[in-house]
Amino acid sequence: MIEMQKLLLSLTIVERAATMSSEIAQLRERIELEIESMHQGLIGLAMVAKHQFIEARYHRLGQLEEELATHVGEVQAAQFSCQAYIRLVKGE
């Protein structure tokens, strides 16, 4: 009976880890989409709309980065956002 409880506990831990990994991947993808959206806003739309659009995307990006930080830490979340920006906007 104890072995069965250990097995069930380990499955729960594995499931939680998989869920957390999935959440992290989703957050990273959403951060990349926000960065792409901000970049597209820079090369389109009128000036006033451009500012409002980019400000909204930047605000949402900050929220996503904070949410990612709860999973991986502030430094890693900031590094990911910066690296994604460089890769997606600067083309490096």
- Six-digit token pair at 32? 């990349």
pLDDT at 13: 63
- CA distances 43 to 3, 4, 28, 77, 88, Å, are 61, 59, 23, 26, 14
pLDDT at 69: 92
- CA distances 90 to 10, 29, 39, 86, 87, Å, are 43, 18, 10, 5, 6
- Give Rg (Cα) of the chain: 18
- List per-residue pLDDT tens for the chain, 92 residues long: 566 666 556 656 666 666 778 888 889 999 888 888 887 777 765 555 667 777 888 899 899 999 999 989 999 999 999 898 888 887 75
pLDDT at 8: 55
Spell out the domain ranges in the chain.
2-90
- Six-digit token pair at 63? 């929220």
